[in-house]
């Protein structure tokens, strides 16, 4: 299935979770947050949250600013 990760389409296996996306991105374990279709997915739910086809995933971290 296709999902949109940080604005880019990605092909993932059906049943893929938020944790699978983070693994594919090689995301660090700390300092990041995830939104799925505009809602925050708490860290404790990353491995249980299955992505819907076409879902929009945003993976954010802190950068220099302000």
Partner 1 sequence: MDDPLVIADREFGSRLIMGTGGAANLAVLERALLAAGTQLTTVAMRRMDAVGGTGVLDLLRRLGIEALPNTAGCRTAAEAVLTARLAREALETNWVKLEVVADDRTLLPDSVELLDAAQQLVDDGFVVLPYTNDDPVLALRLEEAGCAAVMPLGSPIGTGLGIRNPHNIELIVSRATVPVILDAGIGTASDAARAMELGCSAVLLATAVTRAQDPERMAAAMRSAVDAGRSALLAGRIPQRFWAQASSPAR
27 burial (CB, 10 Å; 0-12 / 13-18 / 19+) is: middle
Closest approach of Cβ 20 to partner 1, in Å?
16
- Binding residues for partner 1 restricted to 14-53, rule: CB under 8 A: 25-28, 30-35, 38, 40, 42-43
Please tell me whether residue 60 binds partner 1 under the rule CB under 8 A: yes
Most distant CA pair in the chain, distance: 39
Please tell me whether residue 9 binds partner 1 under the rule CB under 8 A: no
5's enclosing H/E stretch is strand 2-5
Closest approach of Cβ 13 to partner 1, in Å?
22
CA dist., res. 66 & res. 54, Å (int): 33
Residues binding partner 1 (CB under 8 A): 6-7, 25-28, 30-35, 38, 40, 42-43, 58-66
């Amino acid at each position: 299935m296709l999902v949109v990760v940080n604005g880019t389409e990605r092909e993932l296996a059906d049943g893929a979770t938020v944790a699978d996306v983070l693994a594919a991105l090689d995301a660090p374990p700390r300092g990041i947050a995830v939104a799925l279709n505009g809602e925050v997915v708490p860290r404790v739910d990353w491995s249980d949250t299955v992505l819907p086809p076409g879902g929009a995933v945003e993976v954010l971290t802190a950068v220099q600013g302000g």
